[in-house]
Amino acid sequence: MGRVSKKTARNSGRHTGKTGTRHSDGRRAVELLCMLVEHITDLAIYAVDPRATILSWNAGAEHATGFSADEMIGGSIERLYTPQDLASNAPAREFEQAMSAGRFEGDGWRMRKDHSHFWARIVVTALRNSKDVLEGFGIVVQDLTAQREVERQQYEHALQLAARDAARLEAEERARELADLVHQISAQATELERRRLEADSASRAKADFLATMSHELLTPLNAIGGYASLLVMGLRGPLTAEQRADVDRIRASQLQLLGMINDLLNFSRIESGHLAFTVDDVVLSEVVREVAETMAPQVSAHRLIEERIGCSDTVVARADREKVEQILVNLMSNAVKYTAPGGRLTWSCAATGNRARLTLRDTGQGIPPDRLADIFEPFVQVGRGFARPVEGAGLGLAISRDLARAMGGDLTVESTPNAGSAFTLDLPRALPPSPRDSL
């Protein structure tokens, strides 16, 4: 096989006749077989002795590994194995299996002369003589590197196709989910619009009802006030002290109801958007002084102390003066109502950037943290829950905040139970003219 040391044929030329012819034909067949194996280039075919020393090396082995026959014959087969296979004693295991089973077959990496690797199919066959004595091993190696690369590419392509199909299926599923979500959102939007229209209709009906009811109540209330005034003036004859006290109570109740109706009218106007605003420069300190003077009798009656801190005439807001005054009256009325005798009411003003702020701080009973958001709701009184008729309609703070927001501001509160509250009116600031404007 391949390039191999040939022994001199025994009794060469001594045989004649038919026996010599048969021997000659046999040698010729062996020589042809050796020539065939030697010139095969698709398969690496070589033989080793029991000690794994290479005895033959064909053209296919040289083509696959880059080693020539002169480099390999007489050398060890171990130079064809990777360091990893040598470390795991792979050559010995292959030969042991071939000796025990007659044949070893498997796939693995093999080394080329340039130290590169190639993937191969390896068949190791144990070669024994007629007495079953091991003479060596015949090894056939097929280079499958190109085939392995094709299979790898096919596998990666299959993975890509699978991933693409999975992505397409996922995209289709996401598209269906999005379509369902859009349908749900559309249905919800339709329902919300329907509810909004119903709420607007109900709000308009409520505002119309409040306005109508308020106007209907004003006529008899004004009549009550007018007749009570006639009685006080003595036009129907003199009154006793007890009768005068009763008429005073009637007039006080009439004024209280009149205030509640005016609150209802203001609330309905605000909700319907029919309340007009006249925006101008408003000096907050002036409004505070006017409201304090108006509320002075109530403050004195409750034995409260009213003071002003830092409310200079330089703090000017852009607002409707009448609406600001209404807000401050509501704030001060609440502070008086919920502050115990001997308490203190403190006004403070400040201007920061483009905002003007006015704060009224009291030392009253305060508001629980869980009720802070409720106090600006209609028909809810500070610290009292739903309004009681004898205490007002509970619209003062709701109207005040709506007025503040309608003027581009806001009304907020900070409070500590049993320590007091601070209501802050925040409004757009009237900025002073720049030097350039005066030129």
Q: How many residues does the chain have?
A: 439
Distance from C-alpha of 328 to C-alpha of 401, rounded to nearest angstrom: 11
420 neighbors 364 (Cβ within 8 angstroms): yes
Distance from C-alpha of 172 to C-alpha of 296, rounded to nearest angstrom: 74
Is the pLDDT score of 260 beyond 90? no
**pLDDT of 15:** 44
Q: Where are the domains of the chain?
A: 17-141, 150-269, 276-436
- pLDDT tens digits, 409-421: 999 999 999 889 9
Report the range of poorest mean pLDDT among 94-98, 248-252, 414-418: 248-252
The secondary structure of 242-294 as a DSSP string is HHHHHHHHHHHHHHHHHHHHHHHHHHHHHHHT------EEEEHHHHHHHHHHH
**What letter does residue 8 receive in the DSSP assignment?**
P
Point out which residues pair with 281 in neighbouring strands.
318
Is the pLDDT score of 160 beyond 60? yes
3-state secondary structure of 356: strand
Find the distance separating the first CA and the last CA of the chain, reported in whole Å. 116
**pLDDT of 23:** 62
**pLDDT of 370:** 82
Q: Which residue has the higher pLDDT, 125 or 163?
A: 125
Distance from C-alpha of 280 to C-alpha of 430, rounded to nearest angstrom: 9
β-strand pairing of 344-352 with 305-309: parallel
Is the pLDDT score of 224 beyond 70? yes
- pLDDT tens digits, 44-57: 999 999 999 999 99
Selecting from 3.30.565.10, 3.40.190.10, 3.10.180.10, 2.70.98.10, what CATH number does the domain 276-436 have? 3.30.565.10
321 neighbors 283 (Cβ within 8 angstroms): no
Measured at the CA of 183, the angle between CA 179 and CA 189, to 5 degrees, comes to 140
Selecting from 3.30.450.20, 3.40.50.620, 3.40.50.920, 3.40.1350.10, what CATH number does the domain 17-141 have? 3.30.450.20
- pLDDT tens digits, 380-397: 554 444 334 335 556 778
Distance from C-alpha of 392 to C-alpha of 373, rounded to nearest angstrom: 19
**Topology of domain 150-269, CATH:** Helix Hairpins (1.10.287)
**pLDDT of 387:** 38
Measured at the CA of 70, the angle between CA 65 and CA 76, to 5 degrees, comes to 65
51 neighbors 135 (Cβ within 8 angstroms): no
Which residue type, as a one-letter code, is found at position 407? Answer: M
320 neighbors 407 (Cβ within 8 angstroms): yes
pTM value is: 0.47
Q: How confident is the model at residue 287 (pLDDT cuts 50, 70, 90)?
A: very high
125 neighbors 137 (Cβ within 8 angstroms): yes
Identify the top-confidence range among 17-31, 62-76, 148-162, 376-390: 62-76
**pLDDT of 379:** 62
Is the pLDDT score of 217 beyond 60? yes
Q: Give the chain's mean pLDDT.
A: 82
Is the pLDDT score of 5 beyond 50? no
Measured at the CA of 414, the angle between CA 413 and CA 417, to 5 degrees, comes to 120
